[in-house]
């Protein structure tokens, strides 16, 4: 009920970067043996070439104008020589003023010892492990559906989305999803203009019909009123999928790492996406945190899945300003923001439908709700959205109280219930 009240209230109120480069085979090595690699950043003091005046979200997608400077090249060569490192991938991140390199450590070296030495190196601005991350979903029993059945979308109905769609379907809002690949020609996504970016390997992104990304895209934006399947929260939003995670052959689980996620975040910084969905989690990561903070400073909304223990920590859920979402009932309801995340009907590769569980699914639905809000109120920014969703008072309201509160509150300061059920 609170979801329906919240959505009704909210809708009634109605730099540049160069692409990373890696030697052939380096990406596969990093994916298979991440514990043998470190991420190092050094200052890259370059002057930006003249560009058009003014800055806005729509201007972020301009042509890259940065390369590795001579000073950074010399420093990195010295660092590699002193610490016996071999370059595996490198790319400038102009928004942070650094040049990043993924180095492979010597075969007989301890990564902890190498990182400790790098931390004492005055020429190094950042040194960290090549962290691994994973999508935060759990597999559901193998009940599968071949035919559309909207009544099974209990989370969708609990959110009051059918009512909200009378006012907004997410049109005009760009959502960036950083995840695994997805079946973008699924019957419930077929025909949608989805920009695809494979940042893991050289394979065509359109050919990678992976499960987790398909589930997340389906919840956010499955096509409505097409006579089949399910309906997404924001079926008219514009979508970009950044494949930064992949499925391992050994255990069948999806993984990401610091390098692939950094590439995705840099690419999103060069886009006009206003909503970024990160249904994944892992340890604190200094480089990824800096990139995410840059997105937040630009007023974008970043929605992340809360770890299974329900604690707001690690990357990305622990980064201040991120809208961190738990599955309803996760960690005894201790999380500040919850959404349906148990046995949620969504899309599966092969043109199928099935249930999925986890905070990944909860975060995807909240990303859809954020798109509805932005479509109805384009002037809202990330902090205003976060305030509305988390609710400063955090107490339940009746429908009349919510509507009266929303109408009386100044723009960007509306208050909403904090626990979505």
Q: Choose one of 114, 130, 146: the last residue of a domain.
A: 130
By CB atoms closer than 10 A (0-12, 13-18, 19+), residue 157 is: middle
User: Per the residue annotation, which of 27, 179, 236, 285 is the catalytic one?
Assistant: 179
Residues 66-90 pLDDT 10s: 455 778 888 999 999 999 999 998 8
Say whether 240 is catalytic.
Answer: no
Say if residue 126 is in the same domain as residue 225. Answer: no
Say whether 83 is catalytic.
Answer: no
Q: Choose one of 92, 108, 130: the last residue of a domain.
A: 130
The average pLDDT across 199-218 equals 91
CA nearest to 26, candidates 82, 79, 99, 91: 91
Say if residue 262 is in the same domain as residue 307. Answer: yes
Read off the pTM.
Answer: 0.78
CA nearest to 133, candidates 301, 275, 260: 260
Token match 């610490």: residue? 83
Is 79 contained in some domain?
yes
The 10 Å Cβ neighbour count of residue 84 is 14
CA atoms within 13 A on the CB side of 264: 31
| pLDDT confidence band for 377 (50 / 70 / 90) | confident
User: Total domain count for the chain?
Assistant: 2
* Among the ranges given (39-48, 87-96, 293-302, 379-388), the one the predictor scored with the smallest mean pLDDT: 39-48
Say if residue 308 is in the same domain as residue 218. Answer: yes
User: Per the residue annotation, which of 83, 186, 212, 418 is the catalytic one?
Assistant: 212
Q: Choose one of 130, 153, 183: the last residue of a domain.
A: 130
The average pLDDT across 163-172 equals 86
Say if residue 330 is in the same domain as residue 256. Answer: yes
Residue 92: domain span? 35-49+56-130
Residue 249: what pLDDT?
Answer: 72
User: Per the residue annotation, which of 258, 360, 367, 375 is the catalytic one?
Assistant: 360
The average pLDDT across 172-185 equals 96
Say if residue 241 is in the same domain as residue 389. Answer: yes
Say whether 279 is catalytic.
Answer: no
Average model confidence (pLDDT) for the chain? 79
The average pLDDT across 311-319 equals 92
The average pLDDT across 401-417 equals 34
Regarding predicted confidence, which is higher, 292 or 224? 292
Give the CATH number of the domain where residue 96 resides: 3.30.70.260
The 10 Å Cβ neighbour count of residue 123 is 15
Residue 334: what pLDDT?
Answer: 55
Say if residue 121 is in the same domain as residue 143. Answer: no
Give the CATH number of the domain where residue 210 resides: 3.40.50.200
């Amino acid at each position: 009920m609170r979801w329906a009240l919240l959505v009704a209230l909210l809708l009634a109120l109605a730099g540049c970067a160069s692409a990373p480069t890696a030697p052939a085979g380096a990406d596969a090595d990093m994916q298979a043996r991440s514990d043998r690699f470190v991420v190092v950043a050094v200052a890259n003091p370059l002057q930006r070439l003249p560009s058009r005046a003014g800055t806005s979200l729509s201007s972020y997608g301009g042509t890259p104008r940065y390369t590795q400077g001579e000073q950074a090249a010399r420093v990195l060569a010295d660092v590699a020589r002193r610490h016996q490192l071999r370059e595996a991938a490198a790319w400038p991140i102009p928004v942070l003023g650094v040049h990043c390199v993924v180095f492979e450590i010597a075969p007989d070296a301890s990564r902890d010892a190498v990182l400790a030495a790098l931390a004492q190196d005055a020429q190094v601005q950042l040194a960290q492990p090549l962290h691994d991350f994973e999508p935060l979903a759990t597999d559901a029993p193998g009940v599968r559906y071949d035919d559309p059945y909207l009544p099974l979308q209990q989370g969708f109905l609990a959110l009051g989305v059918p009512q909200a769609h009378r006012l907004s379907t997410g049109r005009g809002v760009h959502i960036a999803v950083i995840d695994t690949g997805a079946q973008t020609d699924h019957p419930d996504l077929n025909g949608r203009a989805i920009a695809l970016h494979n940042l893991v390997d050289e394979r065509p992104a359109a050919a990678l019909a992976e499960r987790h990304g398909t589930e997340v895209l389906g919840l956010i934006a499955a096509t409505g009123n097409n006579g089949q399947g399910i309906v997404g929260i924001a079926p008219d939003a514009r979508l970009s999928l950044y494949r930064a995670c992949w499925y391992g052959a050994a255990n069948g689980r999806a993984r990401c790492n610091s390098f692939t996620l950094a590439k995705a975040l840099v690419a999103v910084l060069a886009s006009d996406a206003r909503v970024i969905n990160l249904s994944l989690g892992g340890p604190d990561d200094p480089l990824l945190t800096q990139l995410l903070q840059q997105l937040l400073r630009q007023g974008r909304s970043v929605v992340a899945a809360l770890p299974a223990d329900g604690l707001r920590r690690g990357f990305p859920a622990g980064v201040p300003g991120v809208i961190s979402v738990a599955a309803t009932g996760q960690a005894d309801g201790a999380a500040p923001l919850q959404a349906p995340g148990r046995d949620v009907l969504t899309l599966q590769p092969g043109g199928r439908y099935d249930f999925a569980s986890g905070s990944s699914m909860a975060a995807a639905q909240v990303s859809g709700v954020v798109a509805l809000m932005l479509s109805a109120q384009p002037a809202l920014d990330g902090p205003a959205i976060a305030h509305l969703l988390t609710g400063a008072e955090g107490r339940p309201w009746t429908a009349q109280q919510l509507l009266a509160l929303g109408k009386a509150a100044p723009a960007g300061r509306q208050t909403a219930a904090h626990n979505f059920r």
